[in-house]
Structure 1
């Protein structure tokens, strides 16, 4: 099980989780090769801080783009465009876990988005398979994501959620403006 091999892309997620549970040593961070002058690099890049990824919160946040009762127009068009990408077949999905929008994306203890986990078929999720195989999350977090059921009503697809979110993008209502203000006060990584 060295590296993120293609064999894990075709294996079922339950098989990956079970295999990793039997071999906990595979969950250690793998050493990374850093560029050196011998490689022709002018400098050594600093190592990125490892971020702890937590399972979804018990219920999606109030501004979750997947929730049916979230006001339209809160997030940027680029953020809404990401939602539909997870609707496709496994091989065409984005490789990164979809994180909760309420937290800074580089903060320690960032959560997987509850709306994302509840809306999409996580057994067919490329990003979940890769996160397990590459050691970003352990088997217990993967199982929590697989088992997640949202207590709040969600859209049936990322495309449906995106269409709702984009509807009032240029004229967000009072509830959307309140949510935007709250998020910009909370997050430090927004521009």
Structure 2
């Protein structure tokens, strides 16, 4: 496939072919005509293959299509799995409830911020930066300890289940952009149309 890819990328453009053909015609009846160099000869021979560019592109596209679709499908599946866990898992709701409750408690003296009904997600990474008076414990570690002590009956046992989506899945989902999905799908659609497989 690498050889085909190289051939396709280095194929002669129409302007180059016109010059090569012009040279061949002009030197046809001349005795001392300068022959084509090997690269030009090679390009010319390739151009004689019917629909060379389209056929090679089709082969390359077929070889990469399944891989591209599998990659897109895998990413979407990961995103769906993470979203479903975040939406449906009661443990997630309890943890977010604790974040809200402790946040309201800490802001208890503030009427505006001490009675919040929710919070934005950009607050979550900052939990580790909120420290106790002696600096020994963060709000994040306190919330985790509180959750394990009051909500996780299997804490410390082998049967204990991680209450959030898998960290690897969560990280992958956080890196995904819908614009990238759109670009990948639009590129596939364009390639399909270019080969006459997709008419709509």
TM-score (norm 1): 0.21
Query: Of the two structures, which has the highest relative contact order with CA contacts closer than 8 Å and spacing of 6 or more?
Result: 1
TM-score (norm 2): 0.20
Larger radius of gyration, structure 1 or 2?
Answer: 2
Bigger fraction of residues in helix: 2
